[in-house]
Amino acid sequence: MQTQADVASRREQLVLSTYNVTQAEDQIKKMTSDDKDPAMFLVRLRASEAPRRPDGTQIPTLEEAVKIALESRPEMRQAILDMQNKDIDAEYTKNQALPSFDVTAAYNQNGTGGTKRRDFTLGSPALTNPLPGGLVDAFGQLFHYQFTGYSLGFSVVLPLSNKAQQADYDRALTEKRLSESRMNVTAQEIALEVRNALTQAEMNRARIETAQITRELADQKLEAEQTKFNLGTSTLRFVLEEQRNVAQAQTNEVQSIVNFTKSLVDLDKAMGLTLRKNNVEIDKTLNPVAGINVIRKTETAAQ
C-alpha cells in the first residue's frame, strides 16, 4: 500500500510539473512571437543550451561590477544628463545677473532715384533746373558707393538689485542640488542591486557544491541499501526510501544549477549587460538602415 501511495504521489507531481512547463512555454511564445495562429501553442520548445555550471564561469568582483553598472545602466546615464542640464541652467541664470556691456556697429550704403531739382529754396514759387533720374541712377549710386553711412554705439547695464534674476538663480541651484541628490541615490540603488545579485550568484554557486555532495552521499546510501537488500538484511521499503532520497537529491542539484543560471542573468541585468550579452544594439534597432550597412561592411571585410 505504501508503494502504491508513493507512485500515486509521484504521478500527481508529474502532472503538476507538466502543466507548469506548458504554462511557461505559452508565456515564452507570447513574449517572443505575435503570431495569432492557435497552432503555435502546440509547438513544443526545447532548450538549446544546458544550465550553466559554476566551472569556468567568471564572476566579476564587486568593484568591477559596480563600475560596469554605473557606466552601462540607462538610469545612471539619464541621471547624469539631467545633472548636466541643471548645471547649464544654473550657469545661464548666474550669467543673467552679471553686468552686461554691448557694442553695436553698422555700415550702410544708399542709392537714390527720381527727378532732382537744383536751385530750390524753401518758399520759392517754382522748382528750377530739373535733372531727370530713375532706377538706373539709383543702382549706379549704390554700386559706386556715393552715399555711405557709419554708426557705432555701446551700452552698459549694471544690475543693482534684480530680485527676479536672483530668485531664478536660487531656483536653478536648488534644482541642481536635487538632481545631484537623485543621481547619488540612483548610484546607491544600482550598487546595492549589483551587491545583492553578486551575493545571490555566490550563494547559488555554493549550493551547487553542497547539492552535488548530497546527491553523491545519497547514491552511496542507495548502493549500500541495495547491497543489504540483495543479502537479505534489508527490506524493499528501505530501498524505495533511498531511491526517493536519491531522486530528491538529483532534483535539488538540478534546481541549484538552474538557480545559479538565473542569478547570472540577474547579475547581467543589474550590471546593464543584458542587451550586450545577447548581441542587441539599440542604435541598429532604431535605425535599421544603419544596421544593414554595418552588416554589409562586416560581410565585405570577412570576404
pLDDT in tens, 143-152: 776 777 888 9
- Residue 148 has a pLDDT of 79
248-268 tens-digit pLDDT? 899 899 999 989 989 999 999
- Residue 87 has a pLDDT of 93
**Cα–Cα separations (whole angstroms), residue 152 to 105, 149, 204:** 4, 11, 79
Long-range Cβ pairs for the range 87-91 (8 Å, 24+):
87/176, 89/172, 89/175, 89/176, 90/169, 90/172, 90/173, 90/175, 90/176
Q: Is the pLDDT of residue 51 over 90?
A: no
Q: Is the pLDDT of residue 121 over 70?
A: no
CATH 3.20.20.70 fits 21-89+170-272, yes or no: no
61-95 tens-digit pLDDT? 999 999 999 988 888 989 999 999 999 999 988 88
C-alpha to C-alpha distance for 215 and 245, rounded to whole angstroms:
9
pLDDT band at 48 (very low <50, low <70, confident <90, very high): confident
Most confident of 2-11, 133-142, 292-301: 2-11
- The count of other CB atoms within 10 Å of the CB of residue 45 is 13
On whether the CB atoms of residues 89 and 172 are closer than 8 A, the answer is yes
Q: Where in the chain is the domain with CATH 1.20.1600.10?
A: 21-89+170-272
Q: What is the pTM of this model?
A: 0.64
Which of 116, 140, 117, 137 lies closest to 128 in space, CA to CA? 117
